[in-house]
Structure 1
Amino acid sequence: MAKFKKYTYLILLLIIASSCIETFEFKTASFDANLVVRAIITNELKQHTVELSRTIPIDSTKLDPERNAIVSITNDAGEMYNFQETQDGIYTSNVDFAILPNIAYTLNIETQDGNTYNSTPETLPKTSTIQDLEVSVQENDIDQIKEVVIKANSNTSGNEGQYYRYAYEETFKVKTAVWSPKKLVILSNTPPYSFELVDKDPNIDGIGFCYGTLNSKNILLTETLTLAQDQIIGFPIRKIPIDNYIVGIRYSILVKQYVINQNTYDFYTLLNTFSNPDNIFSQTQVGNIPSNISSTTNPTEDKVIGFFEVSSIATERIFFNRNEIADTFTGFNNYVSLADCTERPNPFITGPFGNSPLLDLLLNGWIYQSPPDTPIIPPERPYALTVKPCGDCTHIGAPIPPSFWVE
């Protein structure tokens, strides 16, 4: 009995204590809205871009672009390239230009509040070419799964060692799970409801395939100063599990190789340590990463996050099919499983209360698939539907192949 009373008192004590706890409202600590700069200028002849934004609080997810700034790049040859804001916070050069060797370039920014920023003068590093891209299937040592591994080999024009940064853009072909060459068009969404079945236009709707594109997210760095010669051999660019749908039919990767200087290399090394790899220039950034851009208005208090990168670039693209890395076109998990596409309702055009069950489904993620699976097609329910991801892969990518695509 004494033990029972002891436990009763303990429970009452916990109840009283919990009733005295007040809800704590989390408040974001004050922060400085520092200028964030993303500027990569290369020896490509094109319109270059500079992206400007402000740091955001830790509890915010929306990017804060820096609008209405004056942006230019000058060099010690007396040339100036002006940039115009083409999207919020994105500034594009008015003309095509390419960075030339042995000339120093400086980034100049004036924000809408009148503060000015300049970069240190930066020159073009030596050029380097991508010799080839290797594709192999290897077993991952950590979880023992097979992966498609893409590696880069390159040569440079010098022998003194260089710093390299890599990025890539991958494009892949997927097949719609339950494709139909026809689509249902809504002619009237009010009584009397009217619909029309029409042929899909191959030039607009495609023929059942889609082409997705993804950009690299991680920072890929290497150097050759510690090597006997300035040559990249077998640097891993991309690893893809062999059961991933992006290598299920046909795949292409465009690899971009940037030759950078040591300061740029050090900046990306620190950024790779501290930042979120999902989008390194749109998240809250730590303020202690050195930058080559500084405020001329208030250099001690007004910090800049980002870097003015001047680099030489080389690119290489390859394609490969599924049967070049695996025996058949099976053995991968499609973007949507056929098991998730078995439901095929054929709703009434007009319901008992004057509504249209067919219209409701069409407006809520269903599309036409085929006539109903019955010997006799009922006139009041002539269309069988499927959920949109099963019959339309455009959430993965465009239904028309990009201009560079070859089969």
Structure 2
Amino acid sequence: MRKIIIIYLFVCSISCIEPFDYKVNDYDQNLVVEAILTNEDKHHQVKLTYTSPINDQEEIFATGAKVNITSSNNETISFEEIEPGIYQTINKVRGQIGIEYKLNINTKEDRVYESSLEKLPESAPITSLYARFENVPSAELNRNEGGIQFFIDTELNNGPGYFRYEWEETYLIVVPYPSELSFNLADCTFVEREEIISRCYQNRYSEGLLIANSNSNELNNIRAFPLHFIGNESESDAPYRLRHRYSLLAKQYNINSSTYEYYRKLKAANESGGSLFDEQQGAITGNINSVTDDGEAVLGNFEVSSVTSKRNFFNPEDFNAPFERPDNLFDCPFGQEIFPPGDSLLYYITTGFYDVYKRTEGFGATLYIGTKNCVRCDHFANPDKPDYWID
């Protein structure tokens, strides 16, 4: 009888377990501000959105707002909405070093927000941008990964420095079998191309927050800040970027200590992963407050910074051992010979994955079929040489 009672209680306990249906019934809709003013002569932008429920990833744009920046020298910089939630200066604007700026926002609901006064700091030059082979801990591989690490050095004139970084990489792509011919499907004839497309250029841009400060350095300088890493394993196409000529542009934003602290907290929150059992940090606020309701939390920050940049070019032979020149991005075996043109050629060409190239051997030329990625690069990269590119 005792066994029967125990079994009965166990079954009852299982049957009482019901799935927990978690729903978000209410949430605080807070304004989120992304705004940067620099000493660059350009159209500056402000992005305004609202927070959304945790189970809704769609952005809610704050449209119809009035946005401007006022300065300590009595200048007003006006913005216009160019697309939902994106506001841009009507004219090109260059912030002035030593001048204080304040961001002002008036939403269509007639709620008013403003930032604290932020002084545009002096710029600090990037003294060196260089690279060397390093073994770097990889969270993805759960071990060290070998690759090329790019570093920055910065000399500061006075006091500690706080910086945010961005980078832009450009790398040369050279196809192994450039095509001199185009194929006319109408009459199965070949025509010499006016331009042989054998070299293209590809750009990539930094993601995430890159910040540094010189507080731990007695000389108040930045030494060997790891700006960008190209590993041999974590990304399949990463090593190929260094097969030919490679260029890296580093942009350094000199920011104040409060903006640095805001980014530090934001970076820590983004990188923590987080779970229900972590210590909750709450909303990360910056230097923007509600004038309408001083108890309202406003997310985001108004960054006022001076910018310096430096571009360097690198060739495979510039990197130290054990770096080895990478293989082609695509597998490009020597093509299949085709002569004379026939049905098999039509089949290959009409698939859209192949192209024709020729090789001169002895007193004649032989036609071959190759995959398009190995013959032309203009369908996946830009054939136009950038103005800044140096061969």
State the partner residue of 1:151.
Answer: 151
Counterpart CA distance in 1 for 2:356 and 2:55 is: 43
Contact 2:239 2:326 in 1 (8 A): yes
2:63 is the counterpart of 1:67: yes
State the partner residue of 1:379.
Answer: none
Amino acid at match of 1:369: V
Q: Secondary structure at the match of 1:132?
A: strand
State the partner residue of 1:131.
Answer: 127
Give per-residue Cα distances to partners, 1:50-73, cap 9 Å, x unaligned.
Answer: 222333444555544433332211
State the partner residue of 1:248.
Answer: 243
Amino acid at match of 1:325: F
1:235 to 225, 232, 235: 225
Q: Secondary structure at the match of 1:91?
A: strand
Summarize the alignment of residues 294-333 of structure 1 with structure 2, pairs less than 5 Å apart.
294-301=289-296, 303-325=297-319, 331-333=325-327
2:113 is the counterpart of 1:114: no
Amino acid at match of 1:82: S
Counterpart CA distance in 2 for 1:129 and 1:110 is: 37
After superposition, the Cα gap between the structure-2 partners of 1:331 and 1:134, relative to the gap in structure 1 and judged at 3 Å, is closer
2:202 to 212, 233, 248: 212
After superposition, the Cα gap between the structure-2 partners of 1:197 and 1:299, relative to the gap in structure 1 and judged at 3 Å, is farther
Deviation of 1:406 after TM superposition, in Å, equals: 0.9
Give TM-score, length-normalised by structure 1: 0.73
Contact 1:287 1:305 in 2 (8 A): no
Deviation of 1:96 after TM superposition, in Å, equals: 2.4
| Range 104-113 or range 27-36, more displaced | 27-36
Contact 1:322 1:328 in 2 (8 A): no
Amino acid at match of 2:161: Q
2:388 is the counterpart of 1:404: yes
After superposition, the Cα gap between the structure-2 partners of 1:129 and 1:199, relative to the gap in structure 1 and judged at 3 Å, is same
Counterpart CA distance in 2 for 1:26 and 1:195 is: 64
Q: Secondary structure at the match of 2:119?
A: coil
Deviation of 1:228 after TM superposition, in Å, equals: 1.4
2:351 to 361, 367, 383: 361
Deviation of 1:394 after TM superposition, in Å, equals: 4.5
Give per-residue Cα distances to partners, 1:298-333, cap 9 Å, x unaligned.
Answer: 3424x3221100111111110011122268996425
State the partner residue of 2:235.
Answer: none
Counterpart CA distance in 2 for 1:209 and 1:316 is: 25
Give per-residue Cα distances to partners, 1:340-380, cap 9 Å, x unaligned.
Answer: x979999959xxxxxx9779633xxx353359xxxxxxxxx
After superposition, the Cα gap between the structure-2 partners of 1:104 and 1:22, relative to the gap in structure 1 and judged at 3 Å, is same
2:332 to 329, 338, 344: 338
After superposition, the Cα gap between the structure-2 partners of 1:199 and 1:274, relative to the gap in structure 1 and judged at 3 Å, is farther
Contact 1:51 1:91 in 2 (8 A): yes
Deviation of 1:216 after TM superposition, in Å, equals: 1.2
Counterpart CA distance in 2 for 1:148 and 1:218 is: 19
Counterpart CA distance in 2 for 1:133 and 1:219 is: 19
Structure 2: gaps (5+ residues): 1-6, 233-237, 273-280, 359-366
**Percent identical across equivalent pairs?**
30
Summarize the alignment of residues 176-191 of structure 1 with structure 2, pairs less than 5 Å apart.
176=175, 178-183=177-182
Deviation of 1:250 after TM superposition, in Å, equals: 1.1
Give TM-score, length-normalised by structure 2: 0.75
| Range 214-223 or range 258-267, more displaced | 214-223
Cα RMSD of the aligned pairs, angstroms, is 3.9
Counterpart CA distance in 1 for 2:378 and 2:53 is: 34
After superposition, the Cα gap between the structure-2 partners of 1:223 and 1:391, relative to the gap in structure 1 and judged at 3 Å, is same
| Range 392-401 or range 264-273, more displaced | 392-401
Give per-residue Cα distances to partners, 1:203-257, cap 9 Å, x unaligned.
Answer: xxx7222211111113222212232122112222112225711111111111111
Summarize the alignment of residues 33-112 of structure 1 with structure 2, pairs less than 5 Å apart.
33-112=29-108
Counterpart CA distance in 2 for 1:42 and 1:62 is: 29
Deviation of 1:176 after TM superposition, in Å, equals: 3.2
After superposition, the Cα gap between the structure-2 partners of 1:230 and 1:70, relative to the gap in structure 1 and judged at 3 Å, is same
| Range 251-260 or range 61-70, more displaced | 61-70
1:289 to 280, 284, 289: 284
After superposition, the Cα gap between the structure-2 partners of 1:391 and 1:155, relative to the gap in structure 1 and judged at 3 Å, is same
Amino acid at match of 1:149: Q
| Range 170-179 or range 265-274, more displaced | 170-179
Counterpart CA distance in 1 for 2:377 and 2:96 is: 44
Give per-residue Cα distances to partners, 1:167-210, cap 9 Å, x unaligned.
Answer: 11111112236542344577xxxxxx7888555554xxx72222
| Range 51-60 or range 82-91, more displaced | 51-60
Structure 1: gaps (5+ residues): 1-8, 187-192, 278-285, 350-355, 372-382
Deviation of 1:404 after TM superposition, in Å, equals: 0.8
Q: Secondary structure at the match of 2:215?
A: coil
Deviation of 1:117 after TM superposition, in Å, equals: 1.8
State the partner residue of 2:276.
Answer: none
Counterpart CA distance in 1 for 2:155 and 2:253 is: 12
State the partner residue of 1:174.
Answer: 173
Counting matched residue pairs gives 353
